[in-house]
Amino acid sequence: MELFEVAPAAGGWALVLHGGAGGRVEELTLDARGSYVEGLTRAYKAGADVLGAGGAALDAVCAAVEQLEDDPLFNAGRGAALTSAGTAELDACVMTGDGRAGAVTACRHARNPVFAARKVMEETPAVLMVAPGVDRLTGWGLATVEPEYFVTPARQQQLANVQARRLEPARHGTVGAAALDVRGRVAAATSTGGMVNQSEGRVGDTPIVGAGTYARDGVVAISCTGEGESFIRGVVAHDVAARVRYLGLPLADAIRATVSEELTARGASGGLIAVDGAGRVVVAHNSPAMFAAYHDGTQVVTHT
């Protein structure tokens, strides 16, 4: 397991984001017009600009995730992994430290699923909504697209390669962000296209509060990526928060214990990012690699 920890920043706010655990997708690397570093840096700047201006943690994580959803190199929004039928079914979740949350699954028309998840939280009494339609999305004032918008040639080639070789679907593609703002509030957001070649209707941990996404003021905000079913069974995001809240463990120790007991011990892999109530940032993974970005006090650091 690899873990990176950064002490609280002097500015009173903190931000960390991820672009999935695992490694680079061959088909995307060959087709890429940009780079993973550029995409992560652009997303970090979008969130940092919000926080640096005194904005809310929720606005910051949504701004960061929006950039990653728009970048076809990452498995969220346009360029998401495709189901066995060649379609894109998108999941997203947001949660704020005061206990509010919203999520969507099998979303096919919201240009940015993270904003649809936020609207579920802010405009409805629900927490999780399946396949919100165009009328609902436009009623919320959100940009809509045809489902084909999310499908890229690189992802079609990836699907064809997986199906032809009968390979195990990649399980690590997700994006997310966690933040603490200057008012001491935390928030987390996560978005994904799921696993390449997954069955239609399959739902992973991303939209499940407490599994792939969790936030509680004064404790922690967390976004996860990895083998979704294992994160659901282990309620990984909440398990970390509970160790911090009830056992009083430092964030890094809580993450080490949860990853060891709920993932590694069960033969599962993935990673997570987290920000605690003091602004301490942690990036951790037991997968071969993990895309992430944060500020180390001197500069923006990216892991690719």
Question: In this model, does residue 278 exceed pLDDT 80?
Answer: yes
pLDDT at 121: 98
C-alpha to C-alpha distance for 91 and 207, rounded to whole angstroms: 6
Give the residue numbers marked as catalytic: 174
pLDDT at 165: 81
Question: In this model, does residue 254 exceed pLDDT 70?
Answer: yes
Place of tokens 């609280």: 8
Question: In this model, does residue 226 exceed pLDDT 60?
Answer: yes
CATH 3.60.20.30 fits 2-296, yes or no: yes
Which regions of the chain does DSSP assign to beta strands (E)? 2-6, 14-21, 90-96, 101-107, 128-130, 175-180, 186-192, 213-216, 220-226, 270-276, 281-285, 290-295, 300-303
C-alpha to C-alpha distance for 109 and 107, rounded to whole angstroms: 6
Q: How many CB atoms lie within 10 A of CB 297?
A: 12
pLDDT at 10: 81
For 80-132, the pLDDT digits (tens) are 999 999 999 999 999 999 999 999 999 999 999 999 999 999 999 999 999 99
For 56-88, the pLDDT digits (tens) are 999 999 999 999 999 999 999 999 999 999 999
Cα dist. 173→25, 138, 245, 255, 267 in Å? 10, 28, 29, 20, 18
Nearest to 188 by CA among 210, 204, 171: 210
What's the mean pLDDT in 227-247? 97
Question: In this model, does residue 34 exceed pLDDT 70?
Answer: no
| 3-class SS of residue 272 | strand
Boundaries of every domain in the chain? 2-296
CA atoms within 13 A on the CB side of 73: 22
pLDDT at 33: 46
Strand 213-216 with 220-226, pairing: antiparallel
Contact between 28 and 170 (Cβ < 8 Å): no
Mean of the per-residue pLDDT values for the chain? 94
| 3-class SS of residue 74 | coil
pLDDT at 26: 66
For 162-204, the pLDDT digits (tens) are 999 866 666 567 999 999 999 999 999 999 999 999 999 999 9
